[in-house]
A and B are shown apart, each in its own frame.
Chain A
Amino acid sequence: MPYNPTLVAPMRAEVTRLGAKELTSATEVDAALGDQKGSMLVFVNSVCGCAAGNARPALALALKHSVVPQQVVTVFAGQDIDAVARARHYFGEYQPSSPSMALLRDGEVVHFVHRHQIEGRSPQSIAGDLTAAFDRLFGATV
């Protein structure tokens, strides 16, 4: 059962103010991921503490890097059920977890950060792994 939207709104805003486009329906997910070209980060947001204390701050740090994905989108697990389910369809064999982050290039998942790689780690450590993936996989700035 989704949380009160008022409680969740700041958690959404923390990501969208970084420039991420929020996808709240399966239709919006299909529009963004259906024929995806170039580089993209999909951030699966959630209400849990490891999203608040680890994943969202890590995303903020990583998006300050000199190399970043051309597009950043976000879906909210537990809140926008259909959107998240549809996004996970595009993740192929990568299993659902939240929070999590998928890096796509031309529609293919090329790197995935699972919840177990976020929990208990500092935002700086997670961001370091992310930016290393940006450099390795994308190597082009927006």
Chain B
Amino acid sequence: MSGHVFHPGHAELHGITVVVETTGSLTYVGRYDSEDERGVLMLDVGVHDAAGGVSREEYVRKSAKFGIRTNHKHLLVPANQIARITKLGDPEP
């Protein structure tokens, strides 16, 4: 459904589960709410630190397959830390 906005009046990613990769070791997976000059506001968020030994890729893969282990109801990812925002994809078969 190209061009389809999940919730009209909001940004294209509003309400969509995304992976926010940062310039550091943290990765955030949760629902994208909104974005402004401060950063991205996310809801029902799992936060992963790759410095703990589990890679970002493995964390995202597990999140796609088993769902998000939420540890924040909402948080703001600072704009200056954001490297990339992508949709959480389907798990591998």
Contacts and interface: CB of A to CB of B under 8 A. Distances in A.
B33 to A, nearest CB: 13
Contacts of B68: 95, 97, 116
A95 B67 CA distance: 5
User: What size tier do the contact residues of chain B reach?
Assistant: 10 to 19
A71 interface: no
Interface in B2-20: 4, 6-7, 15-17
Q: Ordered nearest first, which 9 A-B pairs have the shortest CB separation?
A: A95-B67, A116-B17, A120-B6, A114-B67, A116-B88, A93-B66, A97-B67, A94-B66, A120-B16
A19 B34 CA distance: 38
B54 interface: no
B73 interface: no
Interface of A: prevailing SS:
loop
User: What size tier do the contact residues of chain A reach?
Assistant: 10 to 19
27 contacts: A49-B7, A50-B6, A50-B15, A93-B66, A94-B67, A95-B67, A95-B68, A95-B69, A95-B70, A97-B67, A97-B68, A100-B67, A112-B66, A112-B67, A115-B67, A116-B17, A116-B88, A117-B90, A119-B6, A119-B15, A119-B17, A120-B1, A120-B6, A120-B15, A120-B16, A121-B1, A122-B1
Interface of B: prevailing SS:
loop
Interface of B: 1, 4, 6-7, 15-17, 64, 66-70, 88, 90
A96 interface: yes
Interface in A97-123: 97, 100, 112, 114-117, 119-122
Nearest to B67: A95
B66 A95 contact: yes
A100 B88 CA distance: 15
